[in-house]
A and B are shown apart, each in its own frame.
Chain A
Amino acid sequence: MKEIELIKNLRSLKSISPRAEYASHSKMVILSFQRKLHPQWEIVGRGVLAESFNFGLSMVLTAVILVLILGGATSLLRPIFLNNLPGVDAEGLITEADTITKDIDIQLSEAEYYAVTAKETSVALKETSLNGPAHVNPLLIQNEIKTLDFENPKNSNIDDLLNKLSQ
């Protein structure tokens, strides 16, 4: 066979094509074929490590679910709950109670103060406006009584000293 003939025959082969059915089937087979990584990478990616990780994760998740199902949720979350009780937080409550109590006392004593000052000022102005008998003034006598108070610690101290001196 000459070269020209051979080329002619080969060209005629170009017109040969598979059946449509066969082509479609072959295409599906090729596409569904599982691609494999290079063996070197296979160990890391989808190999031993990945399998171990998946297994470990599954075990942990199973354990957590079991603990939660068996009523351990409250125990596990207990510290978180107990540290988040704003209503009965001892420090905050003590501070608030202390502030409120002190403020109330101040307000009440102040309200009382106005009444007391009114009385004292009235007495002072009365004494300033009057010219009554100087030696029988009730305030003067009251003050004198205070100085004669026998329960006065100063007096008892003097008595103690005198007793010691006389011994």
Chain B
Amino acid sequence: MKLQSFKISIVVFATLIMLQPVLAAETTKPDTVNPVETSVNELLTVRDDTSLSEEDKLLKEFELRKKILSEVLTLSIDEVAKLTAKVDALPEFAENSREKELRDEFKAVLETYTAYYTEQSKKLAELTKIDETKSLAQEIKDYRDNIYNPQIQKIVNFVLLFYNDDVLKIANTRLDKISADIKKLEKLGYIKAGIFASELKLAAETLSAARALLEEAKSAVLTTPKPEEETALETRATPTEEKEAQPPIEPNKLVEDSLNKVKSTYDIFLQISKDLRKLLGIK
């Protein structure tokens, strides 16, 4: 029994240690002042400025448009690098598993993004006319809106699934430990039997709900999408149901709800600990 508890403690400690670099070190914290936003405001101000000559205005506009594009490309390359590091930090997946298939797919896709943005940076350096900056901006915008952004969201959701899984495991281990301690104290007569039953039940239920949300998100992220033809046939077969059906909840929203449930479970744990120590007269 003691050996088992010791093993669990080692596993939890090791998981927390392993999670640290994945979770904390590679985090992308939003800057307090977004340089792109500042440059856009500068561009708007220059264009609005009536005191400048037309020639000066065009020259400044050209420089600012190039600056914005350069900042967008740098930001994008940085974003891809950070996301690649996160995908690399994921655990090893079984051969032929859907997880491994997706991870390999995402890694390949991220490499193409780096190549694309690097290529656009080279193009940008060679631009000499204001219209060229405008068309390059349009090209990058289309690429990001149609290809890059939707895929990035998928990768973020994929990474979050495994984080959520790890956090849930830690929380469940903590619940087991707390339950074991309370049982021990009840047996020895230090506390009344069942005094923490409702809190423990609530914690277990909250973690179960968090698990259910994660499983739903997993199924949404990991399920292989159906070919368009099959989807079209299904739509024709059940037209009324399709109209009434609610749109599926986004996986990132499901993971967010699941993680928030884990957070609230820790509030319950802290309350149990506080009440228990009060009952036992421990400061």
Contact = CB atoms under 8 A, between A and B. Distances in A.
Contacts of A143: 41, 44
Interface string B38-52: 011101110110000
Interface string A83-98: 0011111100110110
Give the size range of B's interface with the partner: 35 or more
Contacts of B177: 86-88
A137 interface: yes
B170 A96 contact: yes
Give the size range of A's interface with the partner: 35 or more
A126 B141 contact: yes
A115 B44 contact: no
Interface stretch (A1-9, A20-28, A39-47, A74-82): A74-82
Nearest to B260: A104
A127 interface: yes
Interface stretch (A29-37, A56-64, A106-114, A155-163): A106-114
Interface of B: 5, 9, 12, 16, 19, 23-24, 27-30, 34, 36-37, 39-41, 43-45, 47-48, 65, 68-69, 71-72, 75-76, 79, 133-135, 137-138, 140-141, 144-145, 149, 152-153, 156-157, 160, 163, 167, 170-171, 174, 176-182, 184-185, 188-190, 252, 255-256, 259-260, 262-263, 266-267, 269-270, 272-274, 276-277, 280, 282
Interface of A: 74, 78, 81-82, 85-90, 93-94, 96-97, 99-101, 103-104, 106-111, 113-118, 120-131, 134-135, 137, 139-140, 143
